[in-house]
Chains A and B, each alone.
Chain A
């Protein structure tokens, strides 16, 4: 079955760019009608959705992070990536990648839900 694994530096300095990669195994990132998403969770707090990408390269971002976020996909490596610029201590969190499944709700709309998650990687922003 499909598995996701996050990777990247665990420590990033303030004002620098956080870069993470999610590697998809057990299936092709290009197969099926899936989006691929990033979510984060500060220690002891709730979940925050960061953004998603389709394998065509189409992206959607959380408006509160949009000016600093870039999500990209590399289908040849079966990976998608997150870049978050100008980080501060408030960006310290566990970062998860997830597969977003879409199923038809009616003729025009889809249900979206995150059915496969990576284990998460902790990123600390500190000098």
Chain B
């Protein structure tokens, strides 16, 4: 099984900050990596697929990078609506689409 590990598990930041969340795979997954945002009581929302492709309708302040085992999600300038939990998910090891444990982004 491919294990996905996110860091940090939680993060405090201020509106306007640049934030980076890291996801590491236990083995190479090429660029088969997706990022989701989840707000309390809501379903996850797709932000980034294939490591760096921005989903339609997602603000351009979100970006993804990486390949192999190390990936990052960057929010260039935090907005109030960005405070949420973020999950990475690999789709390399079909059929088990394992998720990272999540990174909770909180207001400082």
Contact = CB atoms under 8 A, between A and B. Distances in A.
Classify the secondary structure of B's interface with A.
loop
A119 B41 CA distance: 9
A60 interface: yes
A26 to B, nearest CB: 16
A120 B38 CA distance: 12
Given A103-B50, A105-B50, A49 B97 contact: yes
Interface residues of B, number: 26
B50 to A, nearest CB: 5
Contacts of B89: 47, 49, 113-114
Contacts of A117: 43-45
Contacts of A103: 49-50
A108 interface: no
B53 to A, nearest CB: 8
A27 to B, nearest CB: 16
Contact of A47 (B44, B45, B50): B44
B21 to A, nearest CB: 14
A46 B100 CA distance: 8
B7 to A, nearest CB: 14
A62 B89 CA distance: 14
A46 B97 CA distance: 13
Contact of A113 (B1, B34, B87, B101): B34
Interface of A: 37, 46-49, 51-52, 60-63, 96, 101, 103, 105, 111-115, 117-120
28 contacts: A46-B87, A46-B101, A46-B102, A47-B89, A47-B99, A47-B102, A49-B98, A49-B99, A51-B95, A52-B95, A60-B94, A62-B96, A63-B96, A96-B44, A103-B49, A103-B50, A105-B50, A111-B49, A112-B91, A113-B46, A113-B49, A113-B50, A114-B34, A115-B46, A115-B49, A117-B43, A118-B43, A120-B43
Given A117-B43, A117-B44, 8 more contacts: A37-B97, A47-B44, A48-B99, A49-B97, A96-B44, A103-B50, A113-B49, A118-B43
